[in-house]
Chain A
Amino acid sequence: MTTLAEKVPASATSSRWENARRGFYRFRNSWLSIAGLLIVLVLFIIAVIGPSIVPYPEHVAGSVSTATRFQPPSALHWFGTNELGQDVFSLVVAGSQISLLAGLAVVAVGALVGTLVGAVAGYFGGWTDEVLMRLADLKLTVPSLILAMAVAAALGPGILNMVIAISISWWPGYARLVRGEVIAKKEEMFVQAARALGAGTGRILRRHILPNILTPVIIKMSLDMGFAILTVASLGFIGIGVKPPTPEWGSLLSIARTYMPDYWWTAVFPGSAIFLAVFGFNLLGDGLRDVFDPKARR
């Protein structure tokens, strides 16, 4: 009993910290998760400080130097130069900002809208549920890239429009996930207890149901980040994403496509960046799932 008493956490924060420490221990046991976390961290650091450390900031802004077109990778140009003589390394590093920002925005907006819709549908049930979920099903019948293309084409190019377009095709996944979780959780005794206490719908959803279903949502967000970046790049690739000269991985790849295979470096490096980002976020998502859901562990 004395040993127990000594371990009593002094506050809610220290108790949460203890839980987080145990979770991180499980996370640390898998080197793939750590690799994912490192890749993601490095990507974010590059996205934040990248534009100020690139060797040729003028190329990022859109200036060209035709004298140095299609130079292969060298000490001067790590990733070579493209058809306009721009340094590919500078463009790829600067492009990380758009890709990560847009991916993050898509996932955040999708998760926010989806959680809201799913929570309302799951909690109220009946007609509300029917209408909202049929709407989500309807959305799921249309391939997301096609819908995003249509929306982006209708709204016109631009980062914000692209984020809106992809988010529209992104929320139903979250809505379905959250709806299922809410339906399971609303029958839990502690939710019934809160209702018996006289807690209103808002309080029950906010304090009792949502905190208990946040884990799968966070895991899905992490797994989705990779796909969101890929979708952003896809829209860039087909030319309805970000307008040049703003560097973006998808559009860099799209332009480089015509110069394959002779000037391979113009395509390989933006492509590798996309691959690395998707790979990193997937590893991180898998790692998080293992931490939060011990049953799914190998």
Chain B
Amino acid sequence: MKKKSDKEILGNDIETVRDIGNRSISSNYRGSISFNVEPFNGNEESILDSCPTRALSATKDNKRTTIAVDHGKCIMCGYCSQASPEFITIQSKPASPTKIKKQLSEYSNSQIQSEKSFEEIGNVLREKIKKMFGRSLAIREVDAGSCNGCEIEITALNNPIYDIERFGIHFVASPRHADVLLVTGPASKNMEIALLRTYEATPSPKIVIAVGACACSGGIFGDTYATTGGIDKAIPVDVYIPGCPPRPEVLIQGLLLAVDRMITNGK
């Protein structure tokens, strides 16, 4: 066998992407839906009916119809855009996390907020964590019946490309060591007690983040005999991260919101 140099074995220099912001999101990516024309003048029923998770809703006032999308329910299937391509398009920019569930709804006449890169958010986050804790932020992940899609993305946060530990964020093995609970899935009935116990075992002050459409609203699994239809039906939730699944860039935005919330609550 040919003897390899150290460089060859160790690989390709620095893999951690310094600026992995929205520029790295492919233009094909189904991030969120956006509305084209205002006011809406088509047949709203066909659009509303096309959505498998009932994420779209219509309000009428003064003969104007406003269509709203609840990003907490949207699973980015793109069926609405197929039903009405002139009114709804898919954009690559993902929906943002929020602290209040109602803010997940976006109306057809609202503006999109500014965007920052993964690296920029991470650095702000590191400063805040340092100020707040003087140490790292400890996260416990709980799967309350997810399809494993959100777990793939949360695991990706730890890979050398995103490498979230450089911002002082650390995944821990026990809820007793955690500041933040990252909960995925529609809170299945079989997991309900385990989720509650994990929540109780986490020392205060604690923050609960609902990750993904299932955790925010039940997603495609909805509210059935086997699920409770969202994490907030089982335990109090502080931050909602929409997406199916949310990509790492959105997850870190959600963590920033969580730390912000902790700072305000602490004062």
Is chain B a partner of chain A in the same complex?
Answer: no
Give chain A's interface residues, CB within 8 Å of chain B.
none
Give chain B's interface residues, CB within 8 Å of chain A.
none
